[in-house]
Amino acid sequence: MKLQTHIQLTPENNQIDYESKVLLLGSCFTENIGGKLEYFKFQNLQNPFGIIFNPVSILGLVERAIRNEYFTEADIFQKEENWYCFEVHSSISSESEAIFLTKLNNTLQQFKEYLSVASHIVLTCGTAWVYRYNTTGLLVANCHKVAQKEFSKELLSVETISASLEKTIALIKEVNPHAMVITTVSPVRHSKDGMIENARSKAHLITALHQVVDRDEGIRYFPSYEIMMDELRDYRFYRQDMLHPNETAIQIIWEKFRGVWIASETETLQKEIDTIQKGLEHRPFNPESASHKEFLDNLQKKISVLQKRVSHVTFSK
């Protein structure tokens, strides 16, 4: 008896290996996949400006980086004791205006450099609902808890999303014509918008993404949202908030992603790294015991051997 329906997936060409450089941009689900890449020590850069939920804001940051449009005093504002920018996440802030601008522009430079060398770029769209700051008329990436009356809420049209994605990809191709772009829709449900509104939002994103994928053979779509909604259609795969995928769901989606996008020849190295990671997480009853010291010596030898094979790999205790 079959108790699940399964989405048919096949391995792609140009897969990710330990020479690849992966850039991940978008919603919080970006960090779930990015976290797995980080754990297994693939080269990656995740959301340098924090979580970005909508495709228009992703476009804005890509355009800034590629056009060298550095942040200025006009792009930031002070709220209480901190400085913020409507184009980035609240995790990027500072008590000092000068330090904040320096941080933004240093990150922008790092972002541009990685855009130009990334072998794979993963774009994860979270929502089509956006907020427009009434004072400037610009769409924001994050409201930073500024009073709701200062914004107008709107649903991005399929055409606007599609155009934003196409422009984002075109800009990337200007500096990195050989990058593989992988698109996906976040399976996280945005209940604050309302469940019907969330469904409308995801429908707009999916339709727009497929319009772009269908027109460009160099773009791929990975069905994160569909795996969650169809294969994992049970609340046991959600966190307690019933909105975010739990660790089991994330692991299942990662395994699907790995089967499509991670080169099979990396499996042995992944297993070795997994063994080291679990060793580093081990907490002994007696840290001073001879057996534990021998365990640490053996673990360090494994790390040294691995680092001779893959020089960029580092571990932290």
**Is the model's pLDDT at 282 over the cut of 90?**
no
In Å, how far from its chain's centre is CA 155? 22
Cα gap 94→49, rounded to integer Å: 13
pLDDT band at 155 (very low <50, low <70, confident <90, very high): very high
Mean pLDDT of the chain: 95
pLDDT in tens, 203-260: 999 999 999 999 988 899 999 999 999 999 899 999 999 999 999 999 999 999 999 9
Report pLDDT for 218: 84
Burial class of residue 99 in the structure, from the number of CB atoms within 10 Å of its CB (0-12 exposed, 13-18 middle, 19+ buried): exposed
Cα separation, 135 vs 191, in Å, equals: 27
- Residue 208: the pLDDT is 98
Does 4 score more than 90 pLDDT?
A: no
**Phi/psi at 191 (5° precision):** -70, -25
Query: Taking the complete model, does pTM exceed 0.85, yes or no?
Result: yes
